[in-house]
Amino acid sequence: MEKFLARSISIIFHPLLLPTLGLLLLFQTDLYITFLSGTLKQVIIISTFISTGAIPALFFLTGKTLRNGVESWEKMPVQTLTYLISGVSYFAGYYLISKLPVAGFFNAIFLAGTLVLVALALISLRWNISSHMTALGALFGIVLAIMLRLGQHDMMLIGLILLAGGFTGYARLVMGKNNPAQVYAGYILGFSILFLIFNFV
């Protein structure tokens, strides 16, 4: 039962789904961009899901086949390749979003996401850092930075994000996918990059 719950939590807060879930969450708050039309929000959500979820997922499902078919990649971990392809996909999302009339905030999200994925790719060559916790740390970093910049505070939202991070970290430990150091390091990595970018840039 415990492992079933852990697996369910890992699926709900999967890194491929979290960018889309995070934007949906932000669109339901008064923290930012509440003036956008429903159609524009839908375009942003769909573009985000395709570039940060669907395309990386397709590569992940075929990653081993691609790796075996390209001799120069044979010694590179599939996980690292997945991060790199995801980074390229994020950058494609940045290009799509840049065509919209309110692109600045979302461009920053995609560029920051690309930076996080490059960092994960490099680290994963030597160490199995938790991508789940990196994604949740990034979500907390961006929300906290926005709150500080706007002078607004939503303690319930902060509490929900922290709880999601706590449950997900516990789930990764229960499933044996990461050790405590990898869980904490992932969260700190994601939080640091997104918080610094959105709070000081």
pLDDT, tens digit, for every residue of 47-79?
888 888 888 888 777 655 555 555 444 455 667
DSSP output for 28-45: TSSSS-TTS-HHHHHHHH
Q: DSSP 3-state assignment of 170?
A: helix
First to last CA, the chain: 45
Q: Is the dihedral of CA 176, 179, 180, 185 positive or negative?
A: negative
Structural domain of 79: 2-200
What pTM does this model have? 0.84
What Cα–Cα distance (Å) separates residue 47 from each residue in 14, 27, 42, 91?
18, 15, 8, 12
Q: DSSP 3-state assignment of 84?
A: helix
Give how many domains the chain has, as a whole number.
1
Closest CA to 142 of 41, 16, 32, 34: 32
- Rounded Cα distance between 34 and 29, Å, is 8
pLDDT at residue 96 is higher than 50? yes
pLDDT at residue 193 is higher than 70? yes
Give me the amino acid identity at 3: K
